[in-house]
Amino acid sequence: MLATSRPHRQRRALTYHIASLVALLAFWWLLSYYTNSAHIIHGASALPSPLSVLNAIAGLSVFLAPGTPTTLAHGLAALWQNTLVSAERLLGGVLLGAAIGITAGLLLAWSKLVRLLVQGPVLLVRTIPLMALVPLFLAWWGGTSFGILAFIAFAVFSVVVISTVEAAGNVPPELVNLARTLGAARFRIYRTVILPAIVPAVIGGLRVVIGIGWALLLAGEYLGAQNGLGHVLIMAEDYLYTARMALIVVMIMVYTFVLDRLFTLAADWITRWMPKD
């Protein structure tokens, strides 16, 4: 068995990961030092150094409330507050989009007529470039949290609905027949056979969206967001706070990583019944 060597190998891999990250950080620092040594503008520069990015945290204090003194604690609080707002929108959008996408996908899979009528347009929806929709959503719901939520929900919906229809079509017929011979009626078969059977495929679809989830959120927060990380980024862009922009980018990277790990953990638990290849 590999049982004894596995933790050791994982530890070694982790060492390499950390070493390469540290090297990258050092490279970034040196690069920013040599390219920007004379270019420091109110704590910002064309390529902000890692230290100036850290320092940018305190600068976020003002987002808490008018007149908040600039301290690291306030900055962290503001960062956390805006993260929560953004995370809520992201989560809400993903849940709403997945719920509508799965429901619509199951309805499509239910009736051949409905599928023939609707599948064309639904497939077309998938081809819409999401970023091109930002101005449109802005015009419909600009300035409201709902607009951002709707934008993310739309992105999720367009992926999940296709995954659902395809997965529902790929459910092994013997499972449906098994349920039928055990006396199950059509709705019960949908609920107890089709729905659980498509979960892995829907999760696969969701994984694609989750990977770009925070990027979608930022695009969504261009929709006139009044707060959230995207709002902070837009304002920093407006006022040329490059260190702050880099800070938000780094935070988005961290959150994307964390979200991906959490999603993978959850997905692995939900699909723990799946045979591993």
Partner 1 sequence: MSEITIEHLSVSFTRRRAGAFAALQDVSAHITPQTFVAILGLSGSGKTTLLNVVAGLLQPTSGRVLLDGRPITGPGSDRGVVFQQDALFMWRSVVKNVEYGLEVKGMPRAQRRALAEHWLTVVGLKDFAHFFPKELSGGMKKRCQLAMVLANEPTTLLMDEPYGALDYVTKCQLQDELLALLHTTPKTTLFVTHDIEEALYLSDRVLILSRGRLIADMPVTFDSPRTNDLRLSPEFAIAKQRLWRSLDGATQQRPLSLTGLPASIPEQP
Partner 2 sequence: MSYTPTPSTQRSLLRHLGLKALAITTVGAAIALLDATGASAATTALPHTATPIVTPTIPQVTVNFAGEPYFDHTQYIIGVKEGFFSNVGITLAPNGTGIIAPNDQDDPIFASGRVQVMSASAQLFMPAVNTLPKFKLFAVADLFQGYAILGRPHHGLKSYAQFRAQGLSPRAAIVATMSQMKGQRFGYPAEAAIKGFIDLAFSDAGMTLAQVHSVVAPDPETTALMESGRIDFQVGGVPSHLTLQEAGFVPILTSGDLASAAQPSPTSTALQAVFNDGWVAPDSWLKGHMDTALRMLSVDWRINQFIHDHPQAASAIQTPFLNSVAGTKFTNDLAPRVVYRDLDPFLTFAQQKAIFQDPRNPFEVQYLIGSAIQLYVHNGTYKPGEYTWRDFTDADQLYAAMVQYQRQTQVDLAKAAVRMRSLSGAEARTVSSLISRAKQLYADLDFFDAARFAGAAAA
The site for partner 1 (CB under 8 A) is made up of: 172, 174-175, 177-184, 188, 192-193, 196-197, 199, 272-275
Is there binding between residue 22 and partner 2 (CB under 8 A)? no
Tell me how far apart the alpha carbons of residues 97 and 125 are, in angstroms, rounded to a whole number.
Answer: 14
We find the least distance from the C-beta atom of residue 189 to partner 1, in angstroms, to be 10
Candidate residues 59, 93, 205, 213; the one interacting with partner 2 per rule CB under 8 A? 59
Is there binding between residue 84 and partner 2 (CB under 8 A)? no
We find the least distance from the C-beta atom of residue 206 to partner 2, in angstroms, to be 29
Which amino acid is it at 176? Answer: V
Q: Which does 180 bind (CB under 5 to 8 A by kind): partner 2, partner 1, none?
A: partner 1
Is there binding between residue 240 and partner 2 (CB under 8 A)? yes
The two structure tokens encoding residue 234: 């837009």
Is there binding between residue 83 and partner 2 (CB under 8 A)? no
Kindly tell me which of 116 and 139 has the beta carbon lying closer to partner 2: 139
Kindly tell me which of 135 and 169 has the beta carbon lying closer to partner 2: 135
Kindly tell me which of 97 and 230 has the beta carbon lying closer to partner 2: 230
Q: Which does 223 bind (CB under 5 to 8 A by kind): partner 2, partner 1, none?
A: partner 2
Is there binding between residue 26 and partner 2 (CB under 8 A)? no
Which amino acid is it at 243? Answer: A
Q: Residue 41 phi/psi, 5° resolution? A: -115, 130
We find the least distance from the C-beta atom of residue 153 to partner 2, in angstroms, to be 18
The two structure tokens encoding residue 246: 């880099």
Long-range contacts of 172-177, Cβ-Cβ distance < 8 Å, separation of 24 or more: 172/197
Q: Could you give the angle at which helices 50-59 and 242-270 cross, rounded to 10 degrees? A: 90
Residue 209 burial (CB < 10 Å; 0-12/13-18/19+)? buried
Q: Which does 197 bind (CB under 5 to 8 A by kind): partner 1, partner 2, none?
A: partner 1
User: Does residue 41 sit in helix, strand or coil?
Assistant: strand
Compute CA distances 26 → 19, 21, 31, 50, 72, whole Å.
11, 9, 9, 9, 24
Tell me how far apart the alpha carbons of residues 184 and 189 are, in angstroms, rounded to a whole number.
Answer: 6
- Whether the CB-CB separation of 245 and 236 falls below 8 Å is answered with yes
Q: Which stretch binds partner 2 (CB under 8 A): 15-23, 67-75, 114-122, 150-158?
A: 67-75
Is there binding between residue 218 and partner 2 (CB under 8 A)? no
Tell me how far apart the alpha carbons of residues 14 and 67 are, in angstroms, rounded to a whole number.
Answer: 44
For partner 2, what does the binding mask look like between residues 171 and 210, x meaning CB under 8 A? Answer: ----------------------------------------
CA 180 to chain centre: 39
What residue ranges bind partner 2 (CB under 8 A)?
A: 38-42, 44-46, 59-60, 62-68, 70, 135, 138-144, 222-224, 226, 231-232, 234-242, 244
